[in-house]
Amino acid sequence: MTGEEQALDPERAIIDPHLHLWDIPRREGSLQEAQRFLLPELLAMVAASGHNVTHTVFVECGQMYRPDAPEHLRSLGETEFAGGVAAMSASGIYGRCRVAHRIVGSVDLRLGDLVRPALEAHVARGGERFRGVRMPVAYSEDGLFGFPCAPELRGIMGDPRFRAGAQVLAELGLSLDLWCLHSQVDELAQLADAVPDLTIVLDHIGTPETQGRWVDRQEEARAQWAARLGELARRPNVVVKIGGMGMDLAAPIPAETGRGSSAQLAARWRPCVETCIEAFTPARAMFESNFPPDKAAGSYGAVWNAFKIIATGLSEDEKDRLFRGTAEQIYRI
């Protein structure tokens, strides 16, 4: 990778808690441009960045499903895929970074009696690497990535079937990653109250909306987001991933890397990052790359440099929690 920035504080250990792996063919109407991001591409990206990424967490992205399996077991293919990458990385022959060391897979929590056997099947395939699930909940009346959202996602976190499935997750000692928009954060808080024994990870800061009716009301959206995030943070079973701010929600996920510098990204992201840290404290917050989607803003190295710039004034213990410690605790690395 050419033109990469020199890494700041290059010895600092980083656990990247939100990375995808995928092989996306050219397909009409796709949310993503055609792109390949598998183990070789990931390792090259990390090496070029110069940052000391020791482990990564694979987060579901609809890859390698079993086409011939029963519907509720098709996503087992993705857990097996991630586990295979993890086994390759754990051999040590590809370097020190342990890729997909933990796995967040996909199970539809509305499956009723099928939720538990589906989750148990993922645990059986993924072993100690399998730490939780994520399923789509992000809903905006103005659409996402250039397409309308599925109508059944509206109010999904309040669906009794969803909450029953979330309770099964808690009983099995698994966590729930969720990405929602700021207009859904109150709904997420109610879920956290309903299942207090479940660890919930809010991905991508609970993204403030920027499209449609919000185009000319972005200050209002940010204010609503900050207030709702502060209220959500009162739930001790919720932690936040700080990232996802580089995505362009108005267009398909691009294959090309953006040109934003770390200084530019830090200036743009600082208000949101500081709001998250103030609300949750570093003890319940972790930086995430969200690559490949966030490469729309800049390179992998630039994103981590931006976080390091923003964190400059924090104590060593606070930095360690944000870059490594919280992810290590939540995903039991």
Query: 219-271, pLDDT tens digit by residue?
Result: 998 999 999 999 999 999 999 999 999 998 888 888 899 999 999 999 999 99
At residue 3, does pLDDT exceed 80? Answer: no
Pull the structure tokens for residue 36: 């390949």
Q: What domains, with CATH codes, occur in the chain?
A: 13-330 (3.20.20.140)
Evaluate whether 291 touches 247 at the Cβ level (below 8 Å).
no
**Confidence category of residue 169, pLDDT binned at 50, 70, 90:** very high
Residue 27: the pLDDT is 80
Write phi, then psi, for 238 (nearest 5 degrees): -115, 135
At residue 46, does pLDDT exceed 80? Answer: yes
Residue 322: the pLDDT is 98
301: exposed, middle or buried (Cβ count in 10 Å: 0-12, 13-18, 19+)? buried
pLDDT tens, position by position, 259-302: 999 999 999 999 999 999 999 999 999 999 999 999 999 999 99
Evaluate whether 130 touches 106 at the Cβ level (below 8 Å).
no
pLDDT tens, position by position, 117-127: 999 999 999 99
Residue 25: the pLDDT is 87
Residue 182: the pLDDT is 96
87: exposed, middle or buried (Cβ count in 10 Å: 0-12, 13-18, 19+)? exposed
CA-to-CA separations, 154 to 1, 141, 143, 151, 183, in angstroms, rounded: 40, 9, 12, 6, 11
Please, what is the average pLDDT of the chain?
95
**Confidence category of residue 18, pLDDT binned at 50, 70, 90:** very high
Mean pLDDT of 193-204: 98
Those residues with Cβ within 8 angstroms of residue 211's Cβ, 6 or more apart along the chain or in another chain: 140, 142, 143, 249, 250
Burial readout 213-244 (b: 16 or more C-beta within 10 A, e: otherwise): ebeeeeeebbebbbebbeebbebebbbbbbbb
Q: What is the bridge-based pairing of β-strands 98-105 and 130-134?
A: parallel
At residue 30, does pLDDT exceed 80? Answer: no
**Confidence category of residue 1, pLDDT binned at 50, 70, 90:** very low
- Residue indicated by tokens 């011939």: 68
Secondary structure of residue 117 in the 3-state scheme: helix
Among 227, 272, 228, residue whose Cα is nearest residue 246:
272
Cα 190 versus chain centre, distance: 21
**What percentage of the chain exceeds 90 in pLDDT?**
89
**Confidence category of residue 305, pLDDT binned at 50, 70, 90:** very high
pLDDT tens, position by position, 65-114: 999 999 999 999 999 999 999 999 999 999 999 999 999 999 999 999 99
Mean pLDDT of 182-197: 97
Evaluate whether 216 touches 226 at the Cβ level (below 8 Å).
no
pTM over 0.85: yes
Residue 251: the pLDDT is 85
* Neighbouring-strand partners of residue 291: 19
CB atoms within 10 A of CB 288: 26
